[in-house]
A and B are shown apart, each in its own frame.
Chain A
Amino acid sequence: MLKVRFHGRGGQGAKIASRVLGTAAFLEGYYAQDFPLYGAERRGAPIAAFTRISKEPILERGVISEPDVIVVMDETLLDDPLANPLSGLGKEGLVFINTTHKAEDIKKRYRIDANVLTLDITKISLDILGKPILSALAGGAASKIVRLKETSLKEAVTRELSDITHEKGLIEKNIEASIYCFNALPSVLIKSNASHKKSDVITMPFEAADISSPSVTIPANTPLKKTGNWRIFKPVWDYELCTKCMTCVMRCPDGCIRVNEEGFPYSDYENCKGCMICAEECPAKAIRKEREVHAW
């Protein structure tokens, strides 16, 4: 069995990517299973999705803790200790990372022993689709890595996207983007990571409720969680055009837009998630959208 785990942010398309891969494998006659795991369905929050592909009936369910292939659709997740996208990766495993960096630089920076492939699929999606929706692209990358056929991928993208859009042109563009990613990557021979890490069954030690009640007693730590790295675009104000109408300040769902001494709005980029509602709402069209690359 081959186990693939996708990591993305809510809204990026990790769930559909896992389905594209699942359907492509299914179309080639394999047993396949796909499954997403997310919390309170919050856009931008880390999510994971899983695809299992096998020649035998699949007798596993749920989370894949020891994947053969990991697809990281947003490289900022590599720094997120909660998402922990590289967990359970063996030396024989392979990681695909959506990044502007080269594989050897990524390996060095994140101390990855396993094989690494990189491709800036965000750029490809912006070029072809005009927006950073990566489902068909990540599905295409994964299909190539696990050595499925281009024809199955094409059909899988069509089937999966037909469930969520009727826009024929959009589906065509997704197929194009998906095939582009498919062809941009090498096909890799992956050894299935069959080793299962053993952890012994223990007897649960008792702890009194001052420890074992589901409570958090340290002061509020939400401000420590910076959400600025969720951005793909950042809003940039042109103060020549800005009329100080404050619409952007009111429309920002996260309260990230403040006003400087001269009365012009500016963004708290440490927390701005790049939703671009401010730019959409600006009556003076004074806010432009700038592609952002999270360089280190």
Chain B
Amino acid sequence: MLGKMTKQMLTGNASIAWGVRLSDVDYIPAYPVTPQTEIIESLSKWIREGQMDAGFVTMDSEHSMITAAGAASATGVRVFTATSSQGLMYGFEMLYTVSGWRVPFVMANVSRGLSSPITLEPDHNDILAARDTGFLQIHCETCQEALDSILIAYRLAEDKSVLLPAIVNMDGFYLSFTREPVEIPNKEIVREFLPPYKPTHAFFRASQPMAQGVAVLGGHIYSYFKYQMHMANNNALSIYKEVSEEFKETFGRGYGTVEGYMLDDAEYVLIMSNSFSAMGKAAVKRAREKGLRIGLLRLRLLRPFPEEDIREALKGRKASAVIDQNISVGKGGILYSEIAGVLYNEKQRPLLLSFIGGLGGKNISDAEFDFIFDAMMNAYSTGNVPQPALLYTEAELEEMERLKRVAGKG
């Protein structure tokens, strides 16, 4: 059933590129940006060498690139593109526009902290800025998951009851440039799982005039289209479950909308997303060895937001803590707010703690994880939930002091 599969050491970027190659993509508009560039370089090399049959066009900007991706998808072909951070911001206007066209292309975003100050390492302010655009979002922890998610994303996006573009997200550096063993599925089996895209609504043809993305005046008309997008995005929840079940049967790897780690009997739950979840899992494992009943919930499908699955995973626990690798400046953790919203009407809701950690790729040390575990247990025993806090160590602050002196500020 699994057919012939090969395992290789691949970076996250190469894994994404392989997912695209296996998906029989027809057209790739591209623009380079660190740490994503290796994806489009791999694809362009394969196309040049004849290993992939796709159109590849380098664009003048991400704004044009996302527009081209949407327009090409509107002709009814399968489209892929990739960006990161500043690039995603530069094309931002078009994210809303093309998702409104209801075109099912897939884009990879390789997360990187946003300027200023400019940096290269990951956090999720870039991808979470796109959370309201209409794009589906799948967030990955491993290179294998990144490859597999491309295949799943096309199935989801192209489903007749969805028809929205999708973003597959992974962390820059921590996945994009990190190699680990990845199984590359057999192409024939992939084709059975992901047959060619047959558009029913977006198929520009010569001499067959039609208008897409037309202007509307009047709130009732605009509301209809916007809410239909919302319902279509939500439809992707049940479709996701079917698709991931089929994926598991075909390839032997299963991915829930959320992933539970040592969660079954956990009294305390750490909530994370993307590649840093691996470090969270290690911390949970250590805590378990000390006899603490702690588990981890990893958020994978961010849009549509799997409210029911999150509520089920968290209800009845004593306390949960969200590590937001992002910051809504002036508010705090974005995912904390979203999860608080999910839990508010749940009678058996746990206490909910908020931490900001890993901004710009900052390490989260054992001591910081232990600090969170202690805070959850203390909150439960005292009933006092601490204020949201930044994970930051004394050694890191000392290093900042040194850097400030170097910069002439101390």
- Which residue numbers of B lie inside 8 Å of A, CB to CB? 100-102, 160-161, 163-164, 200-202, 209-217, 224-225, 227-229, 231-232, 235
Contacts and interface: CB of A to CB of B under 8 A. Distances in A.
Contact of B212 (A204, A208, A214, A219): A214
B201 A210 contact: yes
Contacts of B217: 39
A78 to B, nearest CB: 20
Contact of A215 (B160, B211, B224, B227): B211
18 contacts: A39-B215, A204-B228, A204-B231, A206-B161, A206-B231, A207-B228, A208-B161, A209-B164, A209-B228, A212-B225, A212-B228, A212-B232, A213-B212, A214-B214, A215-B101, A215-B210, A215-B213, A216-B214
A210 B76 CA distance: 13
Interface in A199-224: 204, 206-217, 219-220
Nearest to A212: B228
Contact of A206 (B200, B214, B235): B235
Nearest to A40: B215
B198 to A, nearest CB: 12
Nearest to A215: B212
Most chain-B Cβ atoms within 10 A of its Cβ — which of A40, A209, A210, A211?
A209
Contacts of B228: 204, 206-207, 209, 212
A39 B215 CA distance: 10
A209 B217 CA distance: 20
B100 A206 contact: no
B94 to A, nearest CB: 15
A209 B224 CA distance: 12
Contacts of A216: 210-211, 214
A204 B224 contact: yes
A212 B231 CA distance: 11
A213 B209 contact: no
Contacts of B212: 213-215
Contacts of B225: 212-214
Contact of A209 (B163, B209, B214, B216): B163
A215 B202 contact: yes
Given A209-B102, A212-B228, A215-B202, 14 more contacts: A40-B215, A204-B228, A206-B232, A206-B235, A208-B160, A208-B201, A209-B160, A210-B201, A212-B232, A213-B101, A213-B225, A214-B213, A215-B210, A219-B209
Contacts of B211: 215-216
B74 to A, nearest CB: 9
A212 B102 contact: yes
Contacts of A219: 209
Contacts of A214: 100-101, 212-214, 216, 225
B204 to A, nearest CB: 10
B209 to A, nearest CB: 5
Contact of B227 (A40, A204, A213): A204
Contacts of B213: 214-215
B210 A217 contact: yes
A209 B201 CA distance: 7
A213 B224 contact: no
Interface string A12-39: 0000000000000000000000000001
A199 to B, nearest CB: 11
A83 B55 CA distance: 46
Contacts of B231: 204, 206
Contacts of B235: 206
A42 B232 CA distance: 35
A217 B214 CA distance: 11
Contacts of A208: 160-161, 163, 201, 232
A208 B210 CA distance: 18
3 nearest interchain CB pairs? A209-B163, A210-B201, A212-B228
A204 B230 CA distance: 11
B82 to A, nearest CB: 24
Contacts of B200: 210
A39 B216 CA distance: 9
A217 B211 CA distance: 6
B101 A212 contact: no
A10 to B, nearest CB: 13
B106 to A, nearest CB: 16
Contacts of A215: 101, 201-202, 210-214
B232 A209 contact: yes
A209 B100 CA distance: 10
Most chain-A Cβ atoms within 10 A of its Cβ — which of B209, B215, B225?
B209
A213 B202 CA distance: 9
Contacts of A209: 102, 160, 163-164, 201-202, 228, 232
A211 B164 CA distance: 14
Interface in A238-256: none
A215 B214 CA distance: 6
A43 B200 CA distance: 38
B167 to A, nearest CB: 18
B21 to A, nearest CB: 27
A40 B224 CA distance: 21
A202 to B, nearest CB: 11
B350 to A, nearest CB: 32
Contacts of A40: 215
A207 B230 CA distance: 11
Nearest to A217: B210
Contacts of B216: 214
